[in-house]
């Protein structure tokens, strides 16, 4: 999920964030983009989760819920460090001795960087909910391919005062693995379905081609070809302000990238293609608050009913 908003200073005052905090929807921390969620915020997210289940769970959908960490080796193999080294969070731990612990305590005491005593572990923070699916799908798919419903708490290293640009957030995704024609048809049928889903919640989404925030000079080429080939579409709505739209959902077609990388084959032996439909749970919730107000009890009855919110 990529916002079209421009980067802002982390010390910048943010009226929408303040309104969310004042209403008890979000609880700020001393780190920008990291929040606790209040009961009303969780009720909105739970309502969205249920509505999304009704929307995308066709017969034969496998449901998998992932933890917020995943295999570092799989992220390395999948090429994430080539494209997004600036967004990845890695898990480091202390494996030293008494002397090492003493150095850490002294460094902390002096306000120094104590990362030198930490070692890279086998884990990274999940950057997207669908990533663990591809290595787990290595081998031959069933004849009809595979359809999965996944979610995870995800991490992106991008500190911002904009509450729609969190560092830790929930992502729900549907993932399709099959032959190219099946995957493209699946991605195409999600365009009207995603628009209608957001309209039914009283939002006014715009569907637009987009690109991921690839790193560096080489990344600009990747971004340009991704947008030109129409491989990523985003559904944009106002969240923090009316002028800056934020992507709350995305439709992503990876073509053969994951099939080739992780040796996923269709029943007839060809390299499988993949696509995913992603929902930014907090972003959709914030768009709803932006559209209908900070008090969900005052939202339109049809929106409350869809999200199963008590009157
Ligand atoms: Zn995905």
User: 235 C-alpha vs ligand 1 centroid, how far in Å?
Assistant: 15
Residues in a beta bridge with 252: 232, 276
User: 211 C-alpha vs ligand 1 centroid, how far in Å?
Assistant: 13
* 275 vs 175: CA distance, rounded Å: 6
User: 175 C-alpha vs ligand 1 centroid, how far in Å?
Assistant: 7
**In 128-167, beta strands by DSSP E:** 139-140, 146-155
Q: What are the pLDDT tens digits along the chain (311 aa)?
A: 444 444 344 446 789 999 999 999 999 999 999 999 999 999 999 999 999 998 877 768 999 999 999 999 999 999 899 899 999 999 999 999 999 999 999 999 999 999 999 999 999 999 999 999 999 999 999 999 999 999 999 999 999 999 999 999 999 999 999 999 999 999 999 999 999 999 999 999 999 998 888 888 888 888 888 887 889 999 999 998 767 899 999 999 999 999 999 999 999 999 999 999 999 999 999 999 999 999 999 999 999 999 999 86
User: 178 C-alpha vs ligand 1 centroid, how far in Å?
Assistant: 15
User: 174 C-alpha vs ligand 1 centroid, how far in Å?
Assistant: 8
User: 274 C-alpha vs ligand 1 centroid, how far in Å?
Assistant: 9
User: 217 C-alpha vs ligand 1 centroid, how far in Å?
Assistant: 24
Contact between residue 176 and residue 187 where contact means Cβ atoms under 8 Å apart: yes
* 169 vs 70: CA distance, rounded Å: 15
By the CB criterion, residues less than 5 angstroms from ion ligand 1 are 128, 130, 173, 276
DSSP 8-state code for residue 271: B
pTM of the model as a whole: 0.93
Question: Which residue, among 73, 104, 258, 267, has the nearest Cα to 176 in the 3D structure?
Answer: 258
């Amino acid at each position: 999920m990529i916002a079209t908003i421009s980067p802002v200073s982390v010390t910048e005052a943010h009226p929408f964030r303040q309104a969310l905090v004042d209403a008890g929807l979000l609880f700020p921390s001393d780190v920008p983009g990291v929040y606790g969620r209040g009961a009303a915020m969780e009720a909105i997210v739970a309502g969205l989760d249920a509505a999304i289940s009704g929307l995308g769970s066709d017969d034969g959908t496998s449901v998998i819920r992932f933890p917020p960490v995943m295999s570092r080796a799989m992220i390395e193999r999948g090429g994430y460090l080539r494209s997004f080294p600036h967004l990845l969070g890695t898990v480091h731990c202390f494996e030293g001795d008494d002397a090492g612990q003493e150095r850490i305590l002294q460094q902390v005491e002096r306000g120094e960087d104590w990362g030198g005593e930490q070692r890279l572990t086998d884990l990274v923070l999940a950057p997207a909910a669908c990533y663990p699916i591809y290595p787990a799908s290595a081998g031959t798919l069933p004849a009809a391919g595979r359809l999965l419903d996944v979610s995870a708490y995800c991490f992106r290293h991008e500190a911002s005062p904009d509450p729609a640009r969190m560092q830790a957030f929930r992502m729900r995704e549907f993932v399709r693995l099959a032959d190219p024609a099946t995957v493209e048809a699946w991605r195409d049928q999600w365009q009207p379905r995603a628009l209608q889903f957001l309209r039914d919640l009283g939002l006014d989404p715009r569907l637009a081609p987009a690109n991921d925030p690839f790193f560096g000079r080489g990344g600009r080429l990747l971004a340009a070809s991704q947008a030109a080939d129409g491989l990523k579409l985003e559904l944009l709505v106002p969240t923090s302000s009316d002028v800056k739209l934020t992507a709350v959902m995305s439709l992503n077609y990876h073509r053969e990238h994951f099939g080739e990388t992780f040796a996923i084959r269709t029943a007839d032996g060809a390299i499988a293609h993949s696509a995913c439909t992603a929902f930014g749970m907090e972003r959709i919730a914030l768009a709803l608050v932006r559209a209908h107000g900070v008090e969900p009890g005052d939202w339109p009855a049809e929106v409350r009913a869809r999200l199963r919110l008590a009157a």
